[in-house]
Amino acid sequence: MTLVVLAAGMGSRYGGLKQLDPVGPNGEFIIDFSVYDAIRAGYNKVVFIIKRENYDLFRSTIGKRLEKIIEVSYAFQELTEDELTLLPPERTKPLGTAHALLCARPYVKGPFSVINADDYYGPMAYRLAAEYLTRENQNANNHFCMVGYKLMNTLTENGTVSRGICKTTENAMLASITERTKIRKAGEDAEYTEGNDEWSFLPGNAVASMNFFGFTDKIFEYAEKGFTAFLRNPKTDLSKAEYYLPTVASEALASGECDMRVLITDDHWLGVTYREDRPKVVAGLNEMVENGTYPQEGLWTNRKEGN
């Protein structure tokens, strides 16, 4: 089972390469906790999607120590020459999470999960995804999953966030994901805006996607088709538009050739969308080390390959 980590974003709102900011009591990054939880759930390979110019820094800080524990590959989020001709010259920002996933295609076979590098998901997410993908795809490769969180467990006090708001059927199958790019707290609930001054209500117990998906390699067929259409659609503003993983998931479901189970966890998200979020992340991870969720001596101390 492979873990694909989306780590190409520079963290503009955070103010730096937040994936490599130590937040654990022994100098760990959030990525360390993610990979640690994945290994405990049975994952045996990790693929980091990064910018090519960050490779040396990324490998020297996180990659080298993980290479002793688990198989590690690196994929670079970048466009082909033909794709570059379609973009305006001022476009420098990556083209979104779905495009990033496509860049990892050569390194992924069979069932895999996708996460953000700067989000802490909790141990349960990895166990749920690994168990579901292994069980449901023994005789097929079209059963996907998504780990869902209560929206209020995923918000920050320090600004707006982007979340995929999910609708499910009675048997917990995903019906649709609507990407809301500006969500903020509103008491015990939340509200969102479409870029104007009007804010609309969202219930605090709505199911939110945190970009923790479980796929088989069949998803690459949908992502490639959708990304091509995204680039060539005359209505796409290629100076700033992005092609998101929730969009690919919705398009795949619309085809009728696959399904997606929503696996709900009560764990709380921790993340550093804004620099002001950092103290809460540090405190939360320290608390989990103290209560025994993670080893006090450090995640990788005395850790051997395959254990």
The CATH class, in words, for 2-138+210-255+269-290 is: alpha beta
Query: pLDDT tens across 69-78, in order?
Result: 999 999 999 9
Quick one: pLDDT at residue 132?
Answer: 96
Domain boundaries, the chain: 2-138+210-255+269-290
- Enter the pTM of the model: 0.90
**Residue 162 token pair:** 């982007």
Band the pLDDT of 222: cuts 50, 70, 90: very high
| Higher per-residue confidence, 112 vs 83 | 112
Q: Tokens 């919705």 correspond to what residue?
A: 250
Who's near 43: CB < 8 A, 6+ residues apart?
Answer: 1, 2, 3, 70, 113, 126, 130
| Per-residue pLDDT at 289 exceeds 50 | yes
Q: Average pLDDT over the chain, rounded to whole?
A: 90
Quick one: pLDDT at residue 304?
Answer: 58
**Angstrom distance (rounded) from CA 123 to CA 239:** 38
* Nearest CA among 96, 294, 135 for reference residue 214: 135
